[in-house]
Amino acid sequence: MTTQTKRPDGRKPDELRKIIAKVGVIPNADGSALFAFGKTLAIAAVYGPRQLHPQHMQNPSAGILRCNYDLLSFSVAERKKPGPNRRSSEISKAIQWALEPALYLDSFPNQVVDVQVYILQADAGTRTAAINASSMALAHAGIPMKDLVCSLAVGKIDKTIIADLTKEEEDFKEGEGATDFAMAKLANHNQFTLMQMDGKISPAQVKEALELTEGLTKEIFEAQKKALKDLIEEQGDEK
């Protein structure tokens, strides 16, 4: 990695934006969490497990995870049309794929767990922030989990691999062009649960991107873990 590369916000290529992680932010949900990478802020709410209707959609051997992602109208500079669109539907599915390997869905047959994720402010990395928030919210809801899921986008500007791109960096075009590589990983297992890439990258740089993600997801996990621990301690103090 070329550590001399200058980024618009002054970060090193392998440096994350400031992380904010909180749990229990929506009192009426079964579980909820907030996760932010810099100016990108996601909030997730979990409802369930509860009986799935209509009945013909039920799975007698395992529960179902449903995810809904939405970029709120005021979250971006150019006002977004309210309601779901093709992009939000695709990201909803990606969040589901990223989270399912971490869950013991066979613990609640014929039931559903709903995850609602809203982006309150967007500066790239919205799907990864959404995955991190959703993972924390599922843990807060007490859903049986194998591990927390940590997600991060890495990219390439010219020939340099960089972590946690901003919108300015996503839009940057120079040399070979920009690359956005979103990944999710089980925090304490050597298992990636999501890999989505826009752009081009060489096999050698794929390896570099994976190694970078492996290291930085540890920072994300520590933030997630601390948020869950802080809530437990806070609830203990209130008793």
The confidence band for 79, taking pLDDT boundaries of 50, 70 and 90, is low
Whether 3 shows a pLDDT value over 80: the answer reads: no
| pLDDT tens per residue across span 122-139 | 999 999 999 999 999 999
Q: Where are the domains of the chain?
A: 19-53+63-238
Question: What tens digit of pLDDT does each residue of 203-230 get?
Answer: 888 999 999 999 999 999 999 999 999 9
Per-residue model confidence (pLDDT) at position 235? 78
Provide mean pLDDT across the span 6-15. Answer: 89
Rg of the chain on CA atoms, in Å: 18
Nearest CA among 112, 101, 98, 107 for reference residue 61: 107
Specify burial of residue 10 (Cβ count, 10 A radius: 0-12, 13-18, 19+).
exposed
pLDDT band at 61 (very low <50, low <70, confident <90, very high): confident
Whether the upstream peptide bond of residue 27 has omega within 30° of 0, thus cis, is no
Q: Are 37 and 196 in contact (CB under 8 A)?
A: no
**Do the beta carbons of residue 135 and residue 149 sit within 8 Å?**
yes
Query: Using CA atoms, how far apart are residues 111 and 143, in angstroms rounded to an integer?
Result: 12
Q: Does domain 19-53+63-238 have CATH number 3.40.50.300?
A: no
Residue 47 reports pLDDT greater than 90: yes
DSSP string across 128-181 = HHHHHHHHHHHHHTT--BSS-EEEEEEEEETTEEEES--HHHHT---TT--EEE
